[in-house]
Amino acid sequence: QVQLQESGPGLVKPSETLSLTCAVSGSSISSGYYWGWIRQPPGKGLECIGTIYHSGSTYYNPSLKSRVTMSVDTSKNQFSLKLSSVTAADTAVYYCARHFDYGGTDDAFDLWGQGTTVTVSS
């Protein structure tokens, strides 16, 4: 079955860049889905960071756009997130997820990774 697995440092210093990777197994990342990152600060709700298509087309949340870069590596079947100039407010569980959009209203994030906790602290 299709699985997503996040990886990356659990601790990042303020002002540095957070880098995470999501490995996709059981399906090709070029299979027609979008791939996204969502985060959840401790005890809070969910925030969509952005999504990327296998072609490299990206859609970023305007609130984070100036600091976000997403990329896809089809040869490794994985996609990545970089968030620059981090502060304590970026401390969260970061999830990668598959985003299907079949046209019309058939649109949702149907598969999620287990999540990885990133703490921003010196």
Partner 1 sequence: DIQLTQSPSFLSASVGDRVTITCRASQGISSYLAWYQQKPGKAPKLLIYAASTLESGVPSRFSGSGSGTKFTLTISSLQPEDFATYYCQQLNSYPPTFGPGTKVEIK
Q: Minimal CA–CA distance to 72: which of 59, 90, 89?
A: 59
The residue among 16 and 59 lying less far from partner 1, judged by its C-beta, is: 59
43 binds partner 1 (CB under 8 A): no
Task: Return the bridge partners of 73, or none.
Answer: 78
**Pairing mode, strands 116-120 and 107-112:** unpaired
Q: Please tell me the distance from the alpha carbon of residue 50 to that of residue 34, in angstroms, as a whole number.
A: 10
The single-letter DSSP state of residue 88 is G
The span of 14-22, 24-32, 58-66, 77-85 binding partner 1 (CB under 8 A) equals 58-66
The residue range among 16-24, 43-51, 70-78, 82-90 that interacts with partner 1, by the rule CB under 8 A, is 43-51
Say how many residues touch partner 1, by CB under 8 A.
Answer: 24
Among 1, 10, 66, 106, binds partner 1 (CB under 8 A): 106
In what side-by-side order are the strands of the sheet with 68-73? Answer: 3-7, 18-25, 78-83, 68-73
Residues interacting with partner 1, by CB under 8 A?
Answer: 45-48, 50, 59-63, 95, 97, 101, 104-110, 112-115
